[in-house]
Amino acid sequence: MAQLAPVVTLAATGASIYATSQEAKRQKKNAQIQQQNAQAQQEVQQQVLAIQAAQDTAERRRALDRSIASARARLAAGGVNPDQGSAAALTAGLRATAQGAQQADDATYAARLSAGRKSLLDQDSSLTNWVRAGQGLGRAMKNLLD
């Protein structure tokens, strides 16, 4: 009977290692599915942000064009050449202001994109299961040697 104990212990350890490896496979598969879902969500979010940024840029360009056209029309109606002197400075100022606002929006867009990225340091805990299985095997070998 005493000779049967190590065999039973070894069989139980083998079953434990098998169960642990199966659980590790399930967890790995679930982690992959979750990662794929997260990646798909991130891609959709990036597309939405890109579309919003493009719409904001187009709206800013239309507003700038309207502002410059309005200023040029008022200056021309007043008898001032809109391509020279203070009129040219006015349109250059409008363009510079719009460019500054666009740069601020680009920075916000980049920050939103980087905020949505998953960290490369996220753990998937796949190694933990193998460490536990190794510890179980170590305990079984110790019992056999004692």
Encode burial over 78-105: b for 16+ CB neighbours within 10 A, e otherwise: eeeebeeeebeebbeebeeebeeebeee
Tokens of 105: 């929006």
Q: What is the structure's pLDDT at 145?
A: 67
How confident is the model at residue 121, as a pLDDT? 47
Q: If you ran DSSP here, which 8-state letter would residue 118 be given?
A: P
Q: What is the pTM of this model?
A: 0.51
Rounded to the nearest integer, the mean pLDDT of the chain is: 79
pLDDT tens across 125-139, in order? 555 656 666 677 777
The whole-angstrom separation of Cα 69 and Cα 50 is: 28
The per-residue pLDDT for 13 is 84
Least confident of 6-10, 40-44, 74-78: 6-10
**Contact status, residue 133 vs residue 13, Cβ threshold 8 Å:** no
Percent of the chain surpassing pLDDT 90 = 0
Mean pLDDT, residues 98-103: 87
- List the one residue out of 16, 6, 10 whose CA is nearest residue 130: 16
**How high is the pLDDT of residue 77?**
85
Backbone angles phi, psi at 62, to 5 degrees: -65, -40
Res 27 pLDDT > 50: yes
